[in-house]
Amino acid sequence: MKTLGAAVASFEYEEPSWLHSVEAMKPASPEDSAHFLNSLEEEDLGLFVLAYGMGMRLGEVSQTLKLDPALVVWRIRRALQRSKASLPPASLELGVTELLRADTQSEGVPPPQTGDGTWAVASIVESLDDTVQDRLKAGLSSPAVDSGRSGVGIGLVVLILVGAAGFMVFGAIRDVNPLWRGKDLMRTGRFSAAREAFADYWDPVVAHEQISICYLAVGDFTNALAKMEYPGVLDRFGAFSPVTEDLEPLDFDPGSHALLPRGLIRTSEPPFVYKAGPAGRILISVGWRDEDFVRIAELPDTTSGPPIVRMAYPDAWPTLPAGVVVWGVEDPELSQADFICIDKEERLEVRSDCLRFLTRNIPQNAQLFFRGHYYMRRGLYTEAGQQFAKLARNFPGESYPKEMVATVSGILGVDQQAFLR
């Protein structure tokens, strides 16, 4: 019996259903396309393999993965828009298609995290979930149906009319349902009207939850926090709910010129924030002075500029591994701080939690609020402070973001200006 890989290899690939205009667009490089695919979760990888590698219609992809058709489109768009490569989505669509359909793999292209080490579709499909493979086998083995007739046909006309009527009814329901109407208004930035719509919803817990999000979107933190006090609302926010308990400060030298990062961090290429001073150097050492990983860079004289300086992670330095990193500036022996790069598993957990909770239904300013508190709860204080600092810049007249920056700064033992500079 022919294996799934063999069946896919003999499958006649069709042109994908492009979600963006690909005319006159240059495909992403194989390297960028491979990095993009490797960053996807397993289910999203399956979407791209079926929709772009095999060119299956999106309806067929929906049936194979047992996902709602609208969710298929939404998840593909979300993945393309969140790509770290900062490439146009259409460029990634073309690049991914070319990579998955290439006869040979170029040198230097990162291998896939699944399969036999090549990006060939026939290999990757055999690493998908077993139930997905079974449905894909069944679809490939089913003979194509040819009616032998051209034209639309009465049956299809009836289906189209029924579908149109269904969308009209759906639109009417959406207009009547306060929750759906409120979310539509919130997505278009009409937060005052959205609050009024949510107030009419039958479930007071959901109503207060959504109204609090509307207040966060416009920087009205007093009313947002008041709405969150309604019984049951904080339970819906879970790990993203506001941190109200006192947190123990970390043990750092308050006189150190090395300010940020401190504590736990997610990124493996963090920027460094330090107090201005004469020309000197910055040094990092992984594993408490492990001589196998020490990097040094020269620092210019910054005494005539702002009191706090930010330096991007040097391009010449390799990315940091998981573990403890000690760093210092000027005289690194005397002015030190340390931080811990969390491991890949924990980074993926944080990313998964944020993707699941911080959907596009939550406005950007509300996302900063929730992400800041979530990072605090995970002990990622440096990154929590960065979220609250963004809110403070977005709403300079509001005290709450500055208070949260002060709280995080107190835990880390740094001046607030390390975040608010």
286, 320 Cβ separation under 8 angstroms: yes
**What's the pLDDT score for residue 9?**
54
97, 52 Cβ separation under 8 angstroms: yes
**What's the pLDDT score for residue 414?**
93
Q: Which residues share a beta bridge with 326?
A: 285, 338
Closest CA to 13 of 107, 146, 131, 103: 103
Helix or strand or coil: residue 275?
strand
User: Alpha-carbon torsion 218, 361, 92, 118, what sign?
Assistant: positive
pLDDT at 172 over 70: no
Helix or strand or coil: residue 8?
helix
Burial of residue 353, with CB atoms counted within 10 A of its CB: 0-12 exposed, 13-18 middle, 19 or more buried? middle
Q: pTM for the complete prediction?
A: 0.60
Average confidence (pLDDT) over 377-392: 96
| Of 15-24, 86-95, 388-397, minimum mean pLDDT range | 15-24
* Sequence letter at residue 379: G
Counting Cα atoms < 13 Å in the Cβ hemisphere of 242 gives: 22
| Of 93-107, 156-170, 290-304, minimum mean pLDDT range | 156-170
Please report the beta strands in 261-303, taking only residues with DSSP state E, as ranges in sequence order: 263-265, 272-275, 280-286, 294-299
Q: How confident is the model at residue 372 (pLDDT cuts 50, 70, 90)?
A: very high
